[in-house]
Amino acid sequence: MPQTKTGCNMKIPDKIKIGGHWITVEKVGDKELESDLGSFNNWYQYIRINENDTAENLQAETFLHEIFEAIKKKFEIKIKHQDLTILSELLFQVIIDNKLDFKTIKTKGEEK
């Protein structure tokens, strides 16, 4: 599946599976998002990320934010948008600043 690599080494996939549902991920312009950075549509199952004049690291953080939005909607989690924004921003910071790469984590008993 094709991916977009961001300046912060986060790859944004064309699709992501959340709670058993495949969500399409699209990069679009300002007009489709009315100048927002991103959006999640539960009915049509897509995340849209604004690619116009948006730094790659901001696109990556927005992608993470929209994943939280999808989880919130799909599982009817009651959380204020401001709190969701704080969680996504801080998780993004932890992942990037610590250079976390979950694909390199080996479980006990796996060969190196």
Q: Give Rg (Cα) of the chain.
A: 15
**Between β-strands 46-50 and 21-28, what pairing exists: parallel, antiparallel or unpaired?**
parallel
pLDDT digits (tens, 9 = 90+) for 28-80: 987 788 778 999 999 999 999 998 877 889 999 999 999 999 999 999 999 99
Cβ atoms 57, 7 nearer than 8 A: yes
Q: What are residue 23's DSSP bridge partners? A: 16
Confidence of residue 106 (pLDDT cuts 50, 70, 90): low
pLDDT of residue 15: 96
In order of their start, the domains of the chain are 3-100 (3.30.2010)
Helices (H) and strands (E) in the chain — how many of each? 3, 6
